[in-house]
Amino acid sequence: MIMSTKTVSAIALMCTTALSTPAFAHDEKAMSKGSKEIHEEMMDSAKKSQSMNMEDMSGDTDKDFAMMMADHHRSAIKMAKSEIENGKNPELKQLAQNIIDSQQKEIATLEKHASMKH
C-alpha cells in the first residue's frame, strides 16, 4: 500500500493528537527524564512529518521512501538511546540496543538509496 504525503501527515497528526489527550497526559514533574526525552522525540518527529511539503519530495518513490525511513529510524535510535540511559528493565534495554544496531545498518542502506538515481 502506497501512502501519499498527506496521508502520512494525517497519521502523524492523529498520533500527536492522541498522545496529547488527557488519557495520556501526566504531570510533567512526575515524568522521568527518559519519558520526557522519548515524548519530545516523538513530538519532534511528528512535527517534522507534518511540516514536510510535497516540494520536499523528489517524486522518485524509492528515494522518498529511503529518505523518510532514514529519518524515522533516526528518531527510533534517539528513543532507544534514552531507554538505555534511563530505563530499568534489562530486556527493554537489550531490545533498545538491538534497535540501535539494526537501524544504524538500515540507515546506511537507506542513505545510499536516497542519494542514488533510480
pLDDT of residue 107: 97
CA distances (Å), origin 11, targets 8, 19, 35, 79: 5, 12, 22, 20
Task: Kindly state the cell numbers that stand for 46.
Answer: 511528528
pLDDT for 22 equals 44
Per-residue pLDDT 10s for the chain (118 aa) are 454 555 545 455 455 444 444 445 556 667 888 888 888 887 877 777 766 666 778 889 999 999 889 999 999 999 999 999 999 999 999 999 999 999 999 999 999 999 987 6
Domain with 43 in it: 5-114
Q: In the chain, how many domains are there? A: 1
Q: What is the pLDDT of residues 16-37, one digit of tens each?
A: 444 444 445 556 667 888 888 8
